[in-house]
Amino acid sequence: MLQVQDIRDNKDRYIKALTKRGIDAAEVFKKVLDADENRKATQTKLDETLAESNSVSKEIGDLYKSGNAKEANVLKEKTVALKESSKELSSQLDSISEELQKLLWTIPNIPNDLVPAGLTEDDNEETFREGDIPVLAEGSMPHWELAKKYDLIDFELGVKITGAGFPVYKGKGARLQRALISYFLDKNTDAGYTEYQVPLLVNEASGFGTGQLPDKEGQMYHVGVDDLYLIPTAEVPVTNMFRNDLVQEADLPITCTGFTPCFRREAGSYGAHVRGLNRLHQFDKVEIVRIEHPDNSYKALDGMVDHVTEILRELKLPFRILRLCGGDLGFTSALTYDFEVFSTAQDRWLEISSVSNFEAFQANRLKLRFKNADGKNSFAHTLNGSSLALPRVLAGILENYQTPEGIKIPDVLVPYCGFDIIS
């Protein structure tokens, strides 16, 4: 969330930057600044009224002490009016502050200067590509047909139990899924990330803290009776572990990783491009989260990109990295790099990771601060990345490693799986 003073100090620059997202922010910024001026004026009037009320009350006390009860009683009528006025002003202040907060909730993060202008994924910039796209034998299949042929994933059984988008992994399919989770976690902990197991349900404050609410409310599963939300990513509970915290500068960076199932309604997602594992309502993901000093956050972002790159190199999957344009950038992100694996059987790129720097945007919402060397409190920077999302990684392995003899297992996963081919 942006701060009002930042908007006031950088209004023209922010308006220009937000055009990269296809947003004309001039009107909402005017509303924010007008609301803030109204809030400050109302606060001043309230403070003056309370001060006058206190002064009159003191005067009444002095009059009673000096035996001037008649004058004191006259002044008591004034205190009644002042108290009523302060009550009304306090209510107005609450209403203005709430409206200001709602306006601030609607404004996305300011794109970093590196973010390219553009409105759709076609405007994203490819920054890196590596790996040879395999030439598959005649009769090669997409992953949903391979899953059925080798009895790895049962999509129909998931429909029976829950509905579309909730697959059931079976046999070697389940073991390969578990192997990927263990491998990803081991890579992350070996790189210095501390592993956490976190709740799969979060409260409303957590959703607002990391920016899923109110922006993605319609995409989250809501448990109405308890007013809780199923997590769309481990980013939400992991980052919210530090909500309202004041950490020491010496504690930075704070690095976390965790595996969770993730739940997304994905309303309106239909068609061939979402078949099989391409888009699910429930899927597994290993996440990395960093709390960083502002001076180091972009160096840390580069390190996270290198970390995910190393994993994909070990899996020997052809991949590319995209720098997202303003129109494709997430609501809370200042800069995002997407990783995509090429699916040879589908002849298309599949997104398998997003690595983002949110700068102070989430930290402001979370009230996550650090005490710097001169004793002042400053907002930290937060970052997160998929390391990795499993469905499309699994799809890429099944499709790119298929042979006439069966599906080979990437060498790095064999110790985790206990087998080197699915046949």
Residue 412 has pLDDT above 60, yes or no: yes
Residue written as tokens 């970390």?
307
Query: Which of 43, 73, 105 corresponds to the end of one domain?
Result: 105
Q: Is 13 annotated for ligand binding?
A: no
- Domain limits for position 77: 4-105
Question: Exposed/middle/buried for 62, CB within 10 Å: 0-12, 13-18, 19+?
Answer: exposed
The distance from CA 378 to its chain's CA centroid, rounded to whole angstroms, is: 21
Model confidence over 43-54: pLDDT tens digits? 999 999 999 988
Do the bridges between strand 254-263 and strand 194-195 make them parallel or antiparallel, or are there none, so unpaired?
parallel
> Is 115 within the bounds of a domain?
no
**33 and 146 inside one domain:** no
Q: Domain holding 87: CATH number?
A: 1.10.287.40
Query: Are residue 82 and residue 228 in the same domain, yes or no?
Result: no
User: Can you give the pLDDT at residue 168?
Assistant: 98
* Confidence bin at 372 (pLDDT 50/70/90): confident
Residue 76: per-residue pLDDT: 79
- 342 and 304 share a domain? yes
Q: Is 351 annotated as a binding residue?
A: yes
pLDDT score at 266: 79
Q: Report how far apart, in Å, the C-alpha atoms of 405 and of each of 2, 49, 140, 142, 315 are.
A: 56, 84, 12, 16, 20
Domain count, the chain: 2
Q: What pLDDT does residue 65 have?
A: 77
242 shares its domain with 375: yes
Could you tell me the CATH number of the domain that includes residue 137?
3.30.930.10
Is residue 95 one of the residues assigned to a domain? yes
- Give pLDDT, residue 60: 80
Q: Tell whether 384 is in a known binding site.
A: yes
CA distance 384 to 238: 10
> Does 233 carry a binding-site annotation?
yes
Q: Is 55 annotated as a binding residue?
A: no
* Pair (175, 90) in one structural domain: no
What share of the chain has pLDDT > 90, as a percent? Answer: 85
309 is in an annotated binding site: no
Rounded to the nearest 10 degrees, how much is the dihedral formed by the CA atoms of 302, 307, 308, 314?
140
What's the pLDDT at 267? Answer: 61
Omega prior to 142 cis, within 30 of 0: no
Q: What is the mean pLDDT of residues 148-157?
A: 97
Name the more confident of 267 and 34.
34
272 pLDDT higher than 70: no
Q: How confident is the model at residue 80 (pLDDT cuts 50, 70, 90)?
A: confident
Model confidence over 113-142: pLDDT tens digits?
Answer: 999 999 999 999 999 999 998 888 888 999
153 in a labelled binding site: no
Judge if 283 and 141 occupy the same domain.
yes
Residues 142 and 24 in one domain: no
Single out the residue in 81, 105, 129 at which a domain terminates. Answer: 105
* 238 domain residue, yes or no: yes
Q: Are residues 139 and 59 in the same domain?
A: no
- Which pLDDT does position 302 carry in this prediction? 98
pLDDT of residue 268: 52
Report whether pLDDT(57) > 90: no
Range from 66-70, 203-207, 224-228 carrying the lowest mean pLDDT: 66-70
Residue 314, marked binder:
no
Q: Do residues 285 and 259 touch, judged by C-beta distance below 8 A?
A: yes
Question: Is 287 annotated among the ligand-binding residues?
Answer: yes
Q: DSSP of 23-69, one letter per residue?
A: ---HHHHHHHHHHHHHHHHHHHHHHHHHHHHHHHHHHHHHHHHTT-H
Q: Which residues pair with 229 in a beta bridge?
A: 202, 222
Same domain, 144 and 97: no
Residue 135 is classified by DSSP as: -
* pLDDT bracket for residue 273 (50, 70, 90): low
CA atoms within 13 A on the CB side of 305: 22
354 labeled part of a ligand binding site: yes
